[in-house]
């Protein structure tokens, strides 16, 4: 069974050990003091290292939006409440020891503002984007957060109302003519949001871009200041209004999928470092259904792009509705079946197109080529966080569901590490199986990262959010061993961790030699950064935030120059 690391807050206060600057209130200095050894809890005296002799002045800018809705319940888990202010920056007190080699910036993106005035958004994915920056240098840690200045966010601030179509929210027209105009803007893409609240990537030329599924929602930011620089404009004629929120980005290329809603299919495109021009690689036509399946992410191998065709398909009828359906902009078409397509990166040729069991996934983890003893590629293996073909996960992410959980019901839908086997011998069918026993990670699995040196290659370890049940949302950090078929879990009762992000130690030869960074929203409405050893998966450092932050989605690492 999985080795469970359970962390619980101790009553030791940091002010009893060191002089905490007055910037922190007594409530904020109540740092946990727990060391975990062999799955047991041992309280210890709090040891704080690498603290600046004087904490720099914190920069705080209050949001112009009315924050009344965010303050309804002071003790509510901060993960599901709007960020308290628009900006903050300051150095954090570090408990434990951050490795000296960890030098750079972790930038996390995610929806962090879920209200306009007294109007509350309804879905996790609707919130306006909030960036969080963790700057690691010489064992010290500086944190900052700031809103992305998208057109959607600026219009909401100015007009005190929703002005663009978000994931589940639609602007309310004042009259029939405004409604007709809004529909016209929908078809042109003008009314689609540019709220880049999903991912953030560092391009090969050093630019850092925040992304969502609308192409207009590609925004360049400064990772040092979190300032919004401007739109990332694609200089090509490929067109399309949407793309995968998770492109494949390396120092040498940028690969993306463009769903075609008119002539159902997918276009695969490449962009070179320093360029804004996407170049056509190839196209996959849908084999089933009235529209392409939702493509939030996709995997690649050394030589192939894997194009998933899920039975959860885009739905124009749902897109036109003023009120969201249970599946929002999608529709479940099990009769259309599900497929996995394999395209050669260099030629654009489709080398395999197989039917697979029905599946539902937001996030693919990694993929690699399986070879026989003569070195010939016989199959492609692709791993994902798979929800057992259960679409209810989408509606479970409504904010009402997340905020009303009382800790008793076990309502999180089951999930697993799903492993696709796609044969390259012309067979019409592929396989989908669990890569390890789902009970190892609590039958809850999402938000994966891995050592980026193993992108497209055979790998052993992944880091994800799993489940300690009962729960309504993934609530553990989990290290998955895909060879040993085991998982090791970190768990802090009542807390919600965000995506565990792996950073490899420079010069490392072992796949798991590095650290895992996550931001935690704890049960007291507060939060902290957590640093785990990538190999042992034990805590080595944490640093408390001045207040709890909203749940975030995905991040990227920008090494120190």
To the question of whether residue 363 is assigned a binding role by annotation, the answer is yes
Tally Cβ neighbours within 10 Å of residue 556.
Answer: 21
Burial letters for 200-227: b for 16+ Cβ neighbours within 10 Å, e otherwise? bbbbbeebbbbbbbbbbbbbbbebeebe
CA 406 – CA 497 distance, rounded (Å): 18
246 is in an annotated binding site: yes
Structural domains present in the chain: 75-559 (2.130.10.10)
Task: Confirm or deny that 303 is annotated as ligand binding.
Answer: no
pLDDT given at position 118: 84
* Token reading at 519: 């931001």
pLDDT value at residue 117: 84
User: How far apart are the C-alpha atoms of 512 and 462, rounded to whole Å?
Assistant: 9
Give the pairing type, strands 496-497 and 486-491: unpaired
Q: CA-to-CA distance for 134 and 148, rounded, in angstroms?
A: 16
CA atoms within 13 A on the CB side of 238: 28
How many alpha carbons fall within 13 Å on the CB side of residue 175? 1
Which 8-state DSSP code applies to residue 412? S
Q: Which residues, at least 6 apart from 19, have a Cβ–Cβ distance to it below 8 Å?
A: none
Cβ partners under 8 Å of residue 268, min gap 6: 255, 256, 257, 258, 280, 281, 282, 283, 284, 305, 307, 343, 348
Residue 462 pLDDT: 98
Task: Please name the residue that has the structure tokens 């905020």.
Answer: 403
Maximal CA-CA distance, the chain: 69
pLDDT tens, position by position, for the chain (561 residues)? 343 333 333 333 333 333 333 222 333 333 333 333 333 333 333 334 444 333 344 455 555 454 444 444 444 689 999 999 999 999 999 999 999 999 999 999 999 999 998 889 999 999 999 999 999 999 999 999 999 999 999 999 999 999 999 999 988 777 666 666 666 666 667 779 999 999 999 999 999 999 999 999 999 999 999 999 999 999 999 989 999 999 999 999 999 999 999 999 999 999 999 999 999 999 999 999 899 999 999 999 999 999 999 999 999 877 777 678 888 999 999 999 999 999 999 999 999 999 999 999 999 999 999 999 999 999 999 999 999 999 999 999 999 999 999 888 899 999 999 999 999 999 999 999 999 999 999 999 999 999 999 999 999 999 999 999 999 999 999 999 999 999 999 999 999 999 999 999 999 999 999 999 999 999 889 999 999 999 999 999 999 999 999 999 999 999 998
Torsion, Cα of 202, 204, 205, 210 (10° steps)? -30
Tokens of 369: 């080529």
- Omega before 454 cis (within 30°)? no
358, with CB counted inside 10 A (0-12, 13-18, 19+), is middle
Is 218:210 a contact under the CB 8 Å cutoff? Answer: yes
Q: Coil, strand, or helix at residue 289?
A: coil
Q: Are 127 and 112 in contact (CB under 8 A)?
A: yes
Looking at residue 30, what is its pLDDT? Answer: 34
CA nearest 311: which of 284, 330, 283, 285? 330
C-alpha–C-alpha distance, residues 296 and 213, integer Å: 7
R_g of the chain, CA atoms, integer Å? 23
Residue 123 assigned ligand-binding role: no
**92 DSSP 8-state letter:** P
Distance CA 356, CA 293 (A): 14
Using a cut of 0.85, tell me whether the model's pTM lies above it. yes
pLDDT of 236 reads: 94
Kind of pairing between the strands at 3-6 and 486-491: parallel
DSSP 68: G
DSSP string, 456-505: TS---EEEEEE--SS-SS--EEEEEETTTTEEEEEE-TT-EE---EEEEP
Give, in order, the Cα–Cα distances in Å from 13 to each of 23, 74, 77, 94, 259. Answer: 15, 21, 21, 13, 53
Identify whether 275 is preceded by a cis peptide bond (ω within 30 of 0). no
User: Residue 177's pLDDT is what?
Assistant: 65
Could you tell me if 65 and 116 are in contact, meaning their C-beta atoms sit under 8 angstroms apart?
Answer: yes
Whole-number pLDDT of residue 437: 97
Tokens of 461: 């370890």
Environment class of residue 182 by beta-carbon count within 10 Å: exposed (0-12), middle (13-18) or buried (19+)?
A: middle
Q: How many Cα atoms sit within 13 Å of 281 on the Cβ side?
A: 29
HSE-CB for 395 with a 13 A CA cutoff: 11
């Amino acid at each position: 069974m999985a080795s469970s690391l359970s962390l619980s807050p101790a009553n030791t206060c940091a002010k009893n050990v060191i002089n905490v600057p007055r910037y922190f209130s007594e409530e904020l200095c109540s740092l946990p003091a727990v060391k975990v050894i062999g799955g047991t809890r041992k309280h210890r005296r709090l040891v704080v290292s690498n603290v600046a002799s004087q904490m720099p002045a914190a920069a705080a800018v209050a949001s112009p939006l009315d924050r009344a809705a965010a303050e309804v319940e002071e003790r509510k888990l901060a993960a599901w409440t709007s960020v308290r202010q628009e900006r903050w920056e300051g150095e954090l007190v570090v408990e434990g020891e951050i490795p000296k080699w960890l030098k750079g910036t972790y930038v996390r993106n995610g929806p962090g503002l879920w209200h306009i005035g007294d109007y509350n958004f309804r879905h996790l994915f609707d919130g306006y984007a909030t960036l969080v920056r963790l700057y690691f240098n010489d064992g010290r840690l500086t944190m900052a957060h700031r809103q992305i200045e998208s057109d959607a966010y600026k219009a909401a601030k100015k007009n005190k109302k929703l002005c663009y179509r978000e994931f589940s929210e639609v602007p309310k027209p004042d009259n029939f003519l405004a409604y007709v105009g809004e529909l016209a803007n929908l078809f042109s893409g003008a009314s689609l949001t540019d709220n880049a609240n999903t991912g953030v990537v560092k391009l090969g030329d050093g630019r850092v871009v925040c992304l969502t599924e609308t192409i207009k929602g590609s925004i360049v930011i400064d990772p040092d200041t979190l300032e919004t620089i401007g739109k990332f404009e694609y200089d090509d004629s490929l067109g399309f209004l949407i793309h995968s929120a998770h492109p494949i980005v390396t120092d040498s290329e940028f690969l993306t999928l463009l769903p075609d809603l008119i002539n159902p299919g997918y276009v695969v495109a490449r962009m070179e470092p320093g360029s804004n021009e996407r170049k056509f690689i190839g196209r996959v036509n849908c084999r089933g259904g009235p529209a392409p399946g939702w493509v939030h992410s996709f995997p690649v191998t050394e030589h192939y792009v894997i194009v998933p065709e899920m039975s959860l398909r885009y739905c124009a009828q749902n897109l036109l509705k003023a009120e969201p359906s249970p599946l929002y902009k999608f529709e479940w078409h099990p009769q259309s079946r599900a497929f996995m397509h394999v395209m050669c990166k260099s030629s654009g040729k489709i080398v395999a197109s197989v039917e697979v069991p029905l599946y539902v996934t937001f996030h693919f983890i990694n993929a690699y080529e399986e070879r026989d003893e003569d070195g010939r590629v016989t199959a492609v293996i692709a791993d994902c966080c798979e929800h057992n073909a259960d679409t209810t996960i989408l509606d479970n992410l409504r904010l009402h569901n997340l905020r009303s959980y009382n800790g008793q019901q076990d309502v999180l839908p089951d999930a697993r590490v799903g492993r696709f086997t796609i044969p390259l011998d012309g067979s019409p069918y592929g396989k989908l199986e669990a890569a390890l026993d789902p009970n190892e990670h609590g039958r809850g699995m999402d938000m994966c990262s891995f050592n980026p040196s193993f992108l497209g290659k055979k790998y052993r370890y992944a880091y994800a959010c799993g489940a300690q049940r009962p729960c309504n949302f993934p609530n553990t950090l989990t290290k998955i061993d895909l060879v040993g078929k085991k998982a090791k879990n970190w768990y802090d009762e009542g807390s919600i961790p965000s995506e565990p992000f792996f950073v490899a130690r420079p010069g490392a030869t072992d796949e798991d030699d590095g650290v895992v960074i996550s931001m935690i929203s704890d049960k007291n409405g507060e939060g902290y950064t957590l640093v785990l050893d990538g190999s042992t998966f034990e805590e080595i450092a944490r640093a408390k935030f001045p207040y709890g932050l909203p749940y975030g989605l995905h991040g990227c690492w920008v090494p120190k120059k």
